[in-house]
Amino acid sequence: MLPFLAILAAGLASSVRAVTVYSQQTFGAATTSAAAASYTGAAAYDPTVLNAPAVPNPAPATQFSVQLQSQASAVQGLSIPQSGSFLGFSIEMSVINQILGSNSSFVQVPFLNLMSNLATRGGHVNVRVGGNTQDFATLVDSLADGKMMEKDLEGVSNPTQTPPLLFTPDVLYLMNNISSLVNVRWYLGIPLNDSQNLRLGIAEAAEQILGDNLLGFQVGNEPDLYADHGHRAPGYSQFDYFGEFGSVIAAIASNDQILVKNNLIGPNLATGDWTPEMVWDTGFITSYSSSLGALGVEHYPDNNCAAQFGTDAQAKDPQTVFSDYLNHTSGQLLVQPYLNSTGIAQGAGKPFIMFETNSASCGGFPGVSNSYGSALWMLDYGMQMAHSNFSGAHVHIGGQNVYYNPFTPPPTNQSTFHQWTIGPIYYASMIIAEAFGNSNQSQIIDMFANDANMYTPAYAIYDNGSPSKVALFNYITDSSGASNLNVAVSINGATVPSSVKVKRLSAESVSTKSNITWAGQTFGGSFESDGRLVGDLDIETVNCDTGNNVCQISVPAPGFALVFLSDDALTDADQASTVQTFSTTAVTKTVNTATIDASVLATSNGHSGKDRKLGSTSKGSSSDAPRSTATSAFAAVAAMAFGAIVLVGRTWM
């Protein structure tokens, strides 16, 4: 365990966008439920449940139609072609030993399962490893303790508590080993804290070790905040950044160990103090075009710094901000500052990527960032970015002490009896992977449905030029049924199929935290998942009225429905239920309070994990609940034979 470190405060301006807390300190927060009021554990498991906002007045119409075109070419404003990897993840570099594995031979099995869920649906997964830590990270040959990574907590020197990080090439072998099991590809960062003395070791080693699994290198992380954070002298400008980017290009040009010279990414603005246009106006894109693999930005719509770091600003009340995440305007406002830039990027032939985002910096808000509402919000925001011609986005993952993680491993000393906690926001990545599919030819459009009512957005997805899916949202919570929607989906220039399939992301309220299902399946609540969906798959068939060319789709309040229109889309939906999963042969050490059904462990070893009723080791859950097996979080990747993956487990701890 890391020693407690006082979280400092002074100087953390509200412009701070992305902060990961590195020490294992716990803190309380504004709470509204009794359980939460007495909660003192880590933020990632905070039980705060807020109140759902009241039904809006006036309420939106509950009956409306959404009309697609039989040919994508007839649709104005359709996005550029998108891939199922659109909504990937950003992992703070300092926590990769918790999320990915402790070294190249001990991969976190739940992580593999979580990535497999996405790769099966979307073809591949993009993961960015970086964040504030990347600028100070240094590659070394080895570390005295034999570990792959070490934080120099003594060296914490800046307002965001970023510890300098030492890491060995084993980190890169670990990533490549993951890529050999699941189709995950990686973005990394070249450290830029000192552009006079560049440390290009990561680029030299990553290119060699990761090969095609390496997507590119960010140069700089939120340079518009460098001066605010004390990493550069006051007055540091976009022209200074332009100069430093040029130094990196020059150093790579003369480095004969780095063969790929066109995979750099900038400017990675927090879009706090600078606008993207300020950087474009330096000539950045034209000057560096031959070195740029993509253009990147990073952004959070809000911050919870006052509550988490005790700055002098007034702490925000989670209940008050909750409604900011429960309407379609939120995603539209988030992409608005980048619309000019996505057009410029298209003109320059460069992908435009949101490298790091989530609900709020400084860890998110309790009850907001980990609610069903946040899943709806991220789904809408992700689709809005796709509609707006971003080419991808990464949902950020911090440590135990943030609320917004899409997934969180248990604290190290609980890994024998606790499993992972899957945040609602993970479902958004999985559903976008499924919605966009694996053709790389999906085009997205915001339908401005229901007279553009902010509570009932809809998107259409065309695949290879034909209508493929419709995504329908209802942000309202209303158990009376009066706010349920009936959406009439039709296709202009063609007849609707005689029936369509519907998958739903369901929960009783936008404030729900754990009782969330996707097509009937769930990852459960805190400490309950090994990364596999459990429960019976429930794909609804809705008969359509071919005479009137309409399919009536209901969407409860709250709700999200993905309607599969074409045969290809149906095939994809079926495929998604045959996810390759990973389990281990590990026997978990029995720990006092944990319930471990040894026979369940024995029969679950090495199988796919499909179609079985499994026991649980989560404290307090029943042994016949439809939960996944308890296994050691770590497995040794021992062999790959006959195309099958064999994971030989190890007793851990």
Ligand X SMILES: *[C@@H]1O[C@H](CO)[C@@H](O)[C@H](O)[C@H]1NC(C)=O
* Shortest distance, position 495 Cβ to ligand X, whole Å: 27
CA distance 514 to 477: 16
CA dist list (Å): 301 to 3, 70, 79, 591: 31, 36, 23, 42
Kindly report the number of other CB atoms within 10 A of residue 207's CB atom: 18
CA dist list (Å): 351 to 222, 250, 296, 470: 18, 23, 8, 25
Contact criterion met (CB below 8 Å) for 375 and 424 = yes
Give residue 264's Cα distance to chain centre: 22
List 33, 51, 440, 464, residue binding ligand X (CB under 6 A):
440
The contact pattern for ligand X, residues 42-81, with x = CB under 6 A and - = no contact, is: -----------------------------------x-xx-
Tell me: does residue 414 bind ligand X (CB under 6 A).
Answer: yes
List 131, 164, 406, 423, residue binding ligand X (CB under 6 A):
164
Tell me: does residue 333 bind ligand X (CB under 6 A).
Answer: yes
* Shortest distance, position 4 Cβ to ligand X, whole Å: 9
* Shortest distance, position 443 Cβ to ligand X, whole Å: 9
CA distance 131 to 41: 25
Among residues 323 and 605, whose Cβ is nearest to ligand X? 323
Binding residues for ligand X restricted to 8-47, rule: CB under 6 A: none
Tell me: does residue 324 bind ligand X (CB under 6 A).
Answer: yes
* Shortest distance, position 255 Cβ to ligand X, whole Å: 19
Region near ligand X per CB under 6 A, out of 87-95, 217-225, 325-333, 537-545: 325-333
DSSP collapsed to 3 states, 528-582: CECCCCECCCCCEEEECECCCCEEEEEECCCEEEEEECCHHHHHHHHHCCCCCCC
Contact criterion met (CB below 8 Å) for 526 and 514 = yes
CA distance 639 to 631: 19
Nearest to 148 by CA among 83, 181, 102, 117: 102
Contact criterion met (CB below 8 Å) for 591 and 410 = no
Structure tokens at 621: 């859950």
List 162, 177, 419, 511, residue binding ligand X (CB under 6 A):
177
Among residues 246 and 411, whose Cβ is nearest to ligand X? 411
With left for phi above 0 and alpha for psi between -120 and 50, is residue 74 left, alpha or beta? alpha
Among residues 439 and 499, whose Cβ is nearest to ligand X? 439
List 634, 635, 647, 649, residue binding ligand X (CB under 6 A):
634
Residue 506 φ/ψ, nearest 5 degrees: -120, 145
CA distance 541 to 537: 13
Among residues 123 and 465, whose Cβ is nearest to ligand X? 123
* Shortest distance, position 641 Cβ to ligand X, whole Å: 11
List 277, 317, 545, 574, residue binding ligand X (CB under 6 A):
277
List 90, 162, 327, 405, residue binding ligand X (CB under 6 A):
327
Region near ligand X per CB under 6 A, out of 222-230, 326-334, 359-367, 392-400: 326-334
Q: Could you identify the residue written with the tokens 């405060």?
A: 9
CA distance 550 to 548: 6
- The alpha carbon torsion through 146, 152, 153, 159 (nearest 10 deg) reads -140
List 308, 388, 400, 405, residue binding ligand X (CB under 6 A):
388
Tell me: does residue 83 bind ligand X (CB under 6 A).
Answer: yes
* Shortest distance, position 367 Cβ to ligand X, whole Å: 16
Region near ligand X per CB under 6 A, out of 100-108, 288-296, 402-410, 610-618: 100-108
Among residues 25 and 549, whose Cβ is nearest to ligand X? 25
Tell me: does residue 651 bind ligand X (CB under 6 A).
Answer: no
CA distance 77 to 387: 8
Tell me: does residue 213 bind ligand X (CB under 6 A).
Answer: no
Among residues 263 and 388, whose Cβ is nearest to ligand X? 388
Kindly report the number of other CB atoms within 10 A of residue 479's CB atom: 12
Kindly report the number of other CB atoms within 10 A of residue 262's CB atom: 13
Structure tokens at 494: 């063609």
Binding residues for ligand X restricted to 114-143, rule: CB under 6 A: 123-124, 136, 138
Binding residues for ligand X restricted to 335-354, rule: CB under 6 A: 339-340, 342-344, 346
* Shortest distance, position 343 Cβ to ligand X, whole Å: 6
Contact criterion met (CB below 8 Å) for 168 and 142 = yes
Binding residues for ligand X restricted to 539-598, rule: CB under 6 A: none
Question: CB within 8 A of 129, min separation 6: which ones?
Answer: 90, 91, 93, 96, 175, 186, 187, 188, 189
Cα angle 627-425-46, degrees, rounded to a multiple of 5: 70
* Shortest distance, position 603 Cβ to ligand X, whole Å: 25
List 20, 104, 132, 358, residue binding ligand X (CB under 6 A):
104
Among residues 439 and 595, whose Cβ is nearest to ligand X? 439
List 150, 240, 508, 540, residue binding ligand X (CB under 6 A):
508
The contact pattern for ligand X, residues 186-205, with x = CB under 6 A and - = no contact, is: -------xx-----------
The contact pattern for ligand X, residues 232-271, with x = CB under 6 A and - = no contact, is: ----------------------------------------
Contact criterion met (CB below 8 Å) for 593 and 611 = no
* Shortest distance, position 549 Cβ to ligand X, whole Å: 27
Tell me: does residue 102 bind ligand X (CB under 6 A).
Answer: yes
Contacts to ligand X by CB under 6 A: 1, 77, 79-80, 83, 102-106, 123-124, 136, 138, 146, 164, 170, 173, 177, 180, 193-194, 277, 280-281, 323-324, 327, 329-330, 333, 339-340, 342-344, 346, 387-389, 411, 413-414, 438-440, 506, 508, 515, 634, 637, 640
